[in-house]
Structure 1
């Protein structure tokens, strides 16, 4: 029995807690009593009080970057993870508490108000950047960042981290539109790191998309997973073209960079934009009709009041570009409103529905426009890991006393997510073929095992406490549990129990 725990033992327990039944630090001891922590790790649950759990967080806080880099590199080597394509993105975690700036340690990410992804503008936040491999969606690197850290300024730092971790391996960095700045593109080109990122909408005028000739486009070789079982004519389809995007610096002496630009047309995006526009127009039309009926009445006696209301409708419904109206007055100065939507403007908007563009530094001989699209579509893997990060591993909202400990706890959760990803990858690879199995859901449908469902089913295993002559045994109650253990190459009959 461990009476004196090392920091490593405590961190290991915290990782396991996050994987099985995430709990606040003050509740980890209660979790340990019901989850056989003493039997598996030889650690008495009573030793896992919140103070003992917090001290290891203080201990690892100064070494978070080293931990992230070495653990990621070790995982790549040990599990043969292909890092030729890495997807990078950032997310935010809301944090409960005041966290005044003067009470925080500036050597660590500062908790502050920012632009929270969960829209909890009432709470301060801390952020994390995750790098996920295309191979198995494995979290291979994570950075904890302050609440005000701008995404555009983190790209170069992330690239350097990934270069160090990957060593001599060449990799493709796929990220969101925050990559596309002059400084970031210059840094990636200078470092010889290939990249793919969507162009911010503000950098391409609608006239560019409207001038594109779909007849010259190439069919994009990508089928979304949700459409895999549908007939070809019911699937989302893509068309891709290619031209050149130019980035110029602020100074005249700055070099001008020209990189490949891949305009992409998506039928699903086009349909979504069309539905959104129709909805906006319908709502704006209803409100404008009501205003026209009310013009000259008690609330809208004057031109000024009608004009003010029109401005509100145009802004709220985003129809300012196409809304046309006139106000006339009779001999008694009673106003009358007549309005319509400009069809030419609406037709021009419809002409660019479904278009967006990707930038890439990959040479044409290594990837055609369709292959660029396929690489970019893997970006959904990092978004899926955010869901795991905030769902099964229960990261938000965080409540820890110091920003140093907040940063360390998030890094611990990232370690748990790495294990989570590896287990999911192992199960799927062991299945082979289409990587699907039955037994995970009550309707027995075939699905690919997700980490969440794997841990759900294995979490219901129970440990029967034995004696000196009768060792403890894990009790399997359902066939799916045995199947998952086989896929994970885990023989519970060979488990070595610690001496207590």
Structure 2
């Protein structure tokens, strides 16, 4: 009889290679050295935690179970029994005071080791809702505090903690991440993010791209003073619909750019962008503050216009249906008085957001019974329709450095960082977090922020190895050619197993499908040549 043990190998060798190149364990151990008698260093524990996220994310209290089933000991040399809850918690406590240094050092290492272009960085924040009381008086205020805020998932009943990520235009690699209080205002974090990115970029100039929360007088003034160029959308309230309605769409320049989602469509069905330009001014909160003047790129999207027209038609249809019912019910048991009819009409107008265009009047007959007469103001609807599809971007970039079309194209990369948050909360599973203290919550979120560049670098490496086309077959059952994503790559590599024999029978990697071998070749990983420890 022969004793054979199999363990899940998955993408552990790939994660180990990228973690080694990023020197995560070495950086952690440099910031928070372990005791000489420790069986594992803090760097080894954090490295194992980071490797857990892109391979098989588990709640904190089950990491040891994951390590026993997976080939963690064979790849990282870490005994599964040592990854107990207490050891993981002590490692998180150790790195908690050094989160900013850890993020900055790993980000700088990624830029240098992988030659990442940081000339354009996209900044955004997200929130993670948590379950539990997390009383503020019982939290350590030296670390991000879990509290109520404005959650992106709209769970206002839950407290939260927040994270901010800066992803590069080159492959969407998150080179910088920070953890924030649950109640931190996003608009107040822009300047800090800018300073952190300047340190990472060194002497190289970079363009900061963010969402509308960047646009405040204090932020714009700080960015201009620091000489950091930026692109951001203007908050809708700062540009009146009349500005858009007065524009001549035919005079606007058509942008020679096709969104990736429209690449396979007939040219007549593709989204079209047009861009005129004017000036945007921003006044300070005090009279003595100088007025800031910036370029304003006015963008029209045919897809946005169609979506807004459809949404308006839907709102009008629903409002009309409810108003017709009210007109029929006026004078009946529930709406016997003019006041009740008027109150209900007002509720419908507010709920369906048709207050601006709705015209209505309540009449009373000789018996005092009310009736409702209503209609939509077509002039108002026509004016609203002229503003459909428009939004505005502001930037200090000079026209000779970036024309209006180029400004729009560079801004369009902002979806990159938003997709990274989908990876952050999806394949890397930020939600199964079980910790007792806010310092550990912040440290664990930072660990996931360290796993995100590993995830993204794997995707970037595969795409770059594929060449200009960046597509491959074998990822889907129908064998169509698609751009590989980090999620797809890890899914296929996740089926790899390691068969461990005896001292005369070295461990073997079981590769069952050609796509797995192809992905390993694209990543430059020779799993068959790995020197597995003998058992």
Q: State yes or no: 1:260 paired with 2:287.
A: no
2:66 aligns with 31
Tell me which of 306, 312, 316 is aligned to 2:351.
316
Tell me which of 326, 342, 346 is aligned to 2:381.
346
Tell me which of 202, 206, 223 is aligned to 2:237.
202
Q: Provide the C-alpha distance between the structure 1 equivalents of 2:75 and 2:111, rounded to a whole number of angstroms.
A: 27
Q: State yes or no: 1:368 paired with 2:408.
A: no
Tell me which of 463, 480, 483 is aligned to 1:428.
463
Tell me which of 99, 103, 114 is aligned to 1:64.
99
Alpha carbons of 1:397 and 1:474: their partners in 2 closer, same or farther (altered >3 Å)?
closer
Tell me which of 173, 180, 197 is aligned to 1:162.
197
Alignment of 1:111-190 (within 5 A): 111-190=146-225
Q: Unmatched 5+ residue regions in structure 2?
A: 1-36
User: Any conservation in 1 of the 2:147–2:160 contact (CA below 8 Å)?
Assistant: yes
1:288 aligns with 323
Alignment partner of 2:391: what SS?
strand
Q: Provide the C-alpha distance between the structure 1 equivalents of 2:157 and 2:452, rounded to a whole number of angstroms.
A: 27
- What does the per-residue CA deviation read over 1:253-308, in whole Å, with 9 as the maximum and x for residues that have no partner? 21111110000000000000000000000000000000000000000000111111
2:27 aligns with none
User: Any conservation in 2 of the 1:73–1:140 contact (CA below 8 Å)?
Assistant: yes
Q: Provide the C-alpha distance between the structure 1 equivalents of 2:38 and 2:294, rounded to a whole number of angstroms.
A: 61
Which TM-score applies when normalising by structure 2?
Answer: 0.92
User: Any conservation in 2 of the 1:96–1:397 contact (CA below 8 Å)?
Assistant: no
User: Any conservation in 1 of the 2:272–2:301 contact (CA below 8 Å)?
Assistant: yes
- What does the per-residue CA deviation read over 1:432-481, in whole Å, with 9 as the maximum and x for residues that have no partner? 02100011111111111100011111111000102222211111000000
Alignment partner of 1:223: what SS?
coil
Alignment partner of 2:164: what SS?
strand
1:42 aligns with 77
Q: Provide the C-alpha distance between the structure 1 equivalents of 2:124 and 2:533, rounded to a whole number of angstroms.
A: 41
Q: Provide the C-alpha distance between the structure 1 equivalents of 2:378 and 2:432, rounded to a whole number of angstroms.
A: 47
Alignment of 1:96-495 (within 5 A): 96-396=131-431, 398-495=433-530
CA offset at residue 197 of structure 1? Answer: 0.1
User: Any conservation in 1 of the 2:60–2:434 contact (CA below 8 Å)?
Assistant: no
Q: Unmatched 5+ residue regions in structure 1?
A: none
User: Any conservation in 2 of the 1:96–1:399 contact (CA below 8 Å)?
Assistant: no
CA offset at residue 3 of structure 1? Answer: 7.9
Alignment partner of 1:260: what SS?
strand
CA offset at residue 397 of structure 1? Answer: 5.3
User: Any conservation in 2 of the 1:95–1:123 contact (CA below 8 Å)?
Assistant: yes
Q: Provide the C-alpha distance between the structure 2 equivalents of 1:494 and 1:266, rounded to a whole number of angstroms.
A: 52
Q: Provide the C-alpha distance between the structure 1 equivalents of 2:384 and 2:432, rounded to a whole number of angstroms.
A: 40
Q: Provide the C-alpha distance between the structure 2 equivalents of 1:496 and 1:397, rounded to a whole number of angstroms.
A: 34
Q: Provide the C-alpha distance between the structure 1 equivalents of 2:352 and 2:432, rounded to a whole number of angstroms.
A: 32
Q: Provide the C-alpha distance between the structure 1 equivalents of 2:356 and 2:168, rounded to a whole number of angstroms.
A: 42
Q: Provide the C-alpha distance between the structure 1 equivalents of 2:532 and 2:119, rounded to a whole number of angstroms.
A: 40
Matched residue count: 499
User: Any conservation in 2 of the 1:395–1:410 contact (CA below 8 Å)?
Assistant: yes
Q: Provide the C-alpha distance between the structure 1 equivalents of 2:105 and 2:227, rounded to a whole number of angstroms.
A: 23
Which TM-score applies when normalising by structure 1?
Answer: 0.98
Alignment partner of 2:98: what SS?
helix
Q: Provide the C-alpha distance between the structure 2 equivalents of 1:16 and 1:439, rounded to a whole number of angstroms.
A: 25
User: Any conservation in 2 of the 1:427–1:487 contact (CA below 8 Å)?
Assistant: yes
User: Any conservation in 1 of the 2:60–2:433 contact (CA below 8 Å)?
Assistant: no
User: Any conservation in 1 of the 2:58–2:432 contact (CA below 8 Å)?
Assistant: no
- What does the per-residue CA deviation read over 1:364-390, in whole Å, with 9 as the maximum and x for residues that have no partner? 101100000000000010011011000
2:40 aligns with 5
Alignment partner of 2:406: what SS?
helix
Choose 94-103 or 395-404, whichever is displaced more.
395-404
User: Any conservation in 1 of the 2:283–2:291 contact (CA below 8 Å)?
Assistant: yes
User: Any conservation in 2 of the 1:95–1:397 contact (CA below 8 Å)?
Assistant: no
Q: Provide the C-alpha distance between the structure 1 equivalents of 2:337 and 2:327, rounded to a whole number of angstroms.
A: 12
Q: Provide the C-alpha distance between the structure 1 equivalents of 2:288 and 2:132, rounded to a whole number of angstroms.
A: 48
2:86 aligns with 51
User: Any conservation in 2 of the 1:19–1:455 contact (CA below 8 Å)?
Assistant: yes
Alignment partner of 2:401: what SS?
coil
Alignment partner of 2:128: what SS?
strand
